[in-house]
Amino acid sequence: MRLRGGYNVLLTGRPTGDIQPLPPPEVLYVPLDSERFRFSELCVAAGDRVARGQPLARDPGNHHLPLPAPRAGTVDLESAPGHVTLTALGGPDDEPYRGTSAADGDRRRRLIDLGAWAFFHDAFTGALPDPSASPAAVIVSTLQLSSYQARGDVQMRERLPAFLRGLQQLQSLLEYQPIHLVLPDIHSGFARQVRHALRGQAFLTLEEVPLRYPLDHFAVLARGLGLKASAGTVWGLRVEGVLAVDRALSEDAPATDRVISLAGPAAISPAHVQAMPGYPIELLSRSRLAAGGVRIVDGGMLSGRALGPDRRGLDIECTGLTMLPEQTDREFLGFMRPGARRRSYSRCFLSLLRPAAPERRTTGVRGEGRPCIGCGYCEEVCPVGIMPHWIHKLLYQDELEEADAVGMGRCIACGLCSFVCPSKLELREEFVDARGRLAAELAEAQRAEAQRVAAQRAEAEQAEGQA
């Protein structure tokens, strides 16, 4: 596999390799949105009693994907805007919801009904794949290289038989399409155990990838494998997705729990935990935050989103919470420090002479913006081979179409270009915003064209009627 770019940021506050239990919550706040999904079609009313796995709402823009109830409970729609609150959790009626298609043989429909389809990705776009269409290939990644996220080996270690069974269930959804199983290019005891367990699985092709962020991104892997979007959709799943497939198809049970990480420089006792969507964030962070101001980020440090005060519980796609100290004061004479403890991609600090060691980062890593100096560092680390510095200059001149023509659309928003930039340019945010504006302009042009065609058709029909 041909891969390029990437860069690892050594950070303190990484979680341990085991999975710690959590105290059961008294209430769940299940958000009605996540990074990919908007569950705007409610399926319940206030006061309803729902079973574990029963749909609380559906996303009409994503094949009516359901938002499963993490536990049996009573619905409250008013106490937390933007959430479905569940109270009086569990009890004798905490039997799993079986779905409407459990007995009709439609295995993909069962994955949707039981919440497992939410773990599938289109490798090139990140969107939810169409469950009615067959993929050209499937990529299963056991890696999670984004900082502080729940690693695949942690999720697999106690559930390797379920993972292997899930791979076989996944293969049963396909006809002849290949499954590429991505493993790290390491040979630890557990890695050898996994390779031994996979021996003889003829439907799998094993691919080894170096542990360098973000070479585990599905779009990077698909291009490295020579797969093209024009040849058809490529499904992407991680370990948790394969385990969800096994749970849905082998046990006929809803996928309502996942492993997430609670970590970062401001985290006390960083750990992996077994949590459910809706678990109260306040309860998760109560005993884990260091003193002082702390920013909680949903996702990794380079590409995650800061949680606002209105977010009460974990959303359906959360893989980890990163806890970063807020930097409120400028470092006294910081510009005169030789950087003995500060790592930089540019290799310009005194730390170059010291052994590599994890660094304690804060929210104040950007500094003051300056013009692009054309150093090319962003191009060196970019895993998809675009030139962020050139795209930045085109966007500075508001040349959206030209920026898209030279590769802005291939950006995977990993955030490495922003991290290594010595000019402190927020390239990731700039590209994400520009792609949103370009999509809005395209949608507006399509609406205008549709209106023009409709007007012409109406004029033609009117002229024909008068004739």
Q: What is the pLDDT of residues 53-90, one digit of tens each?
A: 999 999 999 999 999 999 999 999 999 999 999 999 98
In 3D, which of 317, 182, 344, 160 has the Cα closest to residue 243?
160
274 bridge partner residues: 259
**Strand order, beta sheet including 258-263:** 19-20, 271-275, 258-263, 320-325, 294-298, 305-306
Distance between start and end Cα atoms, the chain: 66
Mean pLDDT of 145-151: 85
Give the C-alpha distances (Å, rounded to integers) separating 89 from 46, 78, 85, 239: 15, 17, 10, 28
DSSP-based three-state secondary structure for 21: coil
Task: Identify the domain containing residue 446 by its residue range.
Answer: 371-467
Domain contains 466: yes
Written as one letter, the residue type at 216 is D
Q: Is 410 exposed, middle or buried, given 0-12, 13-18 or 19+ CB atoms closer than 10 A?
A: middle
- Given a cut of 80, whether residue 235 has pLDDT beyond it is yes
Which pLDDT does position 47 carry in this prediction? 95
Residue 335's pLDDT is 58
Lowest mean pLDDT among 54-63, 296-305, 347-356, 407-416: 347-356
Q: Enter the pTM of the model.
A: 0.89
pLDDT-derived band at 341 (thresholds 50, 70, 90) equals low
The whole-angstrom separation of Cα 258 and Cα 246 is: 13
In a domain? residue 380: yes
Quick one: average pLDDT of 383-408?
Answer: 92
Asked, for residue 105, whether it belongs to a domain, the answer is no
Query: Residue 398 domain-assigned?
Result: yes
Model confidence at 319: pLDDT above 60? yes
Q: Is the pLDDT of residue 312 over 60?
A: yes
143: in domain: no
**What value does the mean pLDDT take over residues 251-272?**
90
**192 has pLDDT over 70:** yes
Q: Is the residue at 51 inside a domain?
A: no
Q: Note the pLDDT tens digit of each residue in 328-338.
A: 666 665 655 66
Q: In this predicted structure, what is the pLDDT of residue 391?
A: 95
Question: What percent of the chain has pLDDT above 90?
Answer: 54
For residue 344, pLDDT over 80 is answered with no
Report whether 68 contacts 255 (CB < 8 A). yes
Whether pLDDT at 92 is above 80: no
> What's the rounded Cα separation, in Å, for the pair 142 and 240?
9
Q: Which residues are paired to 322 by β-bridges? A: 263, 297
Degrees, nearest 5: CA angle 263-264-266 = 110
Q: What is the pLDDT of residue 104?
A: 52
For residue 373, is pLDDT > 90? no
Q: Which two tokens stand for residue 450?
A: 């549709």
Structural domain tally of the chain? 1
Check whether 286 has a pLDDT greater than 70: yes
Residue 455 in domain? yes
Average pLDDT, the chain: 88
Tokens of 214: 């973000």
Mean pLDDT of 172-184: 92
Identify the pLDDT of residue 348. 77
* pLDDT at residue 331, as a whole number: 64
Tell me if 347 is assigned to some domain: no
In three-state secondary structure terms, 68 is: strand
Range scoring the smallest mean pLDDT among 96-105, 141-150, 241-250, 271-280: 96-105
DSSP letter string, 302-340: TT-EEPPTT--B--TT--EEEEEE---SPPTTGGG---T
Those residues whose C-beta lies under 8 Å from the C-beta of residue 430, and which sit 6 or more positions away, are: 392, 395
Cα–Cα distance measured from residue 189 to residue 191, given in angstroms and rounded to the nearest whole number: 5
What's the pLDDT at 300? 87
